[in-house]
Amino acid sequence: MRTHSVLSLLSLLGAAHGARILQSNDDGWAELYLRSFNDALNAAGHDVVVSAPAENQSGTGSSDREPEPRSTPCQYNSCPANSGPVGSNSTNPRLNWVNSYPVTSVKYGLSTFGPQIWNGQAPDLVVAGPNTASNLWLAVHFSGTVGAAVHAARVAKIPSIAFSGADGAELPWNTSPVPSRSLVYAELATILTEKVLESGAPYLPEDVFLNVNFPSITSECSRASDFQWVLSRVNPGFLSAPDVETCGDDRLPTETDVVNSDGCYVAVSVGDATDKTTAPREKQAVVLEKLADVLTCLP
Ligand SMILES: *[C@@H]1O[C@H](CO)[C@@H](O)[C@H](O)[C@H]1NC(C)=O
Ligand SMILES: *[C@@H]1O[C@H](CO)[C@@H](O)[C@H](O)[C@H]1NC(C)=O
């Protein structure tokens, strides 16, 4: 008994502090937001592998196509011309590109790049982004960042989180100095990732992804500690069944309402990976309980 509980405690701590995380996006493997998040996850002690498109594939949704050989360099000159259909940073095999869509990149990460680093094991979690623009409501359907997360949750059955920031970057990975919005979004994304991991396995209900949107970085909302987290819906709920009861209501605010509120509020929607809308109440309730100590109510 005793050994058993010590072992489960160790595995819990192990996941929270050294989880296997596959990271992707749709803005491209060399985009700064992805790299700042990668740095933050590595600094937190996680075992991270990137598998993301060779260039900007924004708005490609759930498209998927066998990668084709490249003749030109990757975005921002981040890989040489004629580098083949997929490739890795020449000195860091944890950073990989795929000459295709975000979904294809996640598939490659799960089948090839991840197992090479993790001795054949699957990741604990898939994270996408932070995207260099918000992904709210209707945009969710076209977003490649969301497409990557949805593929992980629905097809590969690996819990996933899509992160997006209202402020765009379009900056190469080696930009110096790194603008603070990239660092703040990376820190916020790491905080939520760790909260989900600390809540224990299963990290999210089946067929659920989290759609997380950060508002703009302003003088009032300039540090990660300025922000608060609010449970939200992807789509407006006029005709939908009631949501989980929280903040004295059985209708959650939409993610658009949350990020547009006065104050520094991050929207955390419980997404349904089968149709990219809002997950049902029972699944919202599981996430509400897991994140209870960080969630707050809109004023
Ligand atoms: C490749 O990795 C090296 C070492 O970590 C780093 O200095 C370089 O900037 C990376 N380049 C790209 C495109 O990732
Ligand atoms: C990617 O392309 C879209 C248009 O297809 C554009 O709106 C966006 O700013 C680009 N993002 C980056 C990071 O270059």
User: Which element (helix H / strand E) includes 126?
Assistant: strand 125-131
pTM equals 0.94
Q: At residue 197, what are phi and psi to the nearest 5 degrees?
A: -65, -40
Topology at the third CATH level for domain 6-294: Stationary-phase Survival Protein Sure Homolog; Chain: A, (3.40.1210)
**Residue ranges for the chain with pLDDT beneath 50:** 1-4
What's the CA gap between 153 and 123, in Å, rounded?
12
Other residues' Cβ atoms within 10 Å of the Cβ of residue 11: 12
Ligand 1 pocket, 169 CB below 6 A? no
Nearest atom (ligand 2) to Cα of 169: 13
Q: Please name the residue whose Cα sits nearest to atom 5 of ligand 1.
A: 92
Which ligand is the nearest neighbour of the Cα of 176? 1
pLDDT confidence of residue 2? 45
What's the CA gap between 269 and 19, in Å, rounded?
23
pLDDT confidence of residue 3? 47
Ligand 1 pocket, 91 CB below 6 A? yes
**pLDDT 10s digits, 91-127:** 999 999 999 999 999 999 999 999 999 999 999 999 9
For ligand 1, the distance from its centroid to the CA atom of residue 44, given in whole angstroms, is 20
Q: Which whole-number Å values give the CA distances from 119 to 16, 51, 108, 115, 122, in the listed order?
A: 20, 17, 15, 5, 9
For ligand 2, the distance from its centroid to the CA atom of residue 60, given in whole angstroms, is 11
pLDDT confidence of residue 169? 72
**pLDDT 10s digits, 71-96:** 999 999 999 999 999 999 999 999 99
Lookup: tokens for 296: 């707050």
Lookup: tokens for 147: 């497409």
**3-state SS assignment for residue 281:** helix
pLDDT confidence of residue 168? 86
Domain boundaries, the chain: 6-294
**To 10 degrees, what angle do helices 180-198 and 32-43 make?**
50
pLDDT confidence of residue 15? 54
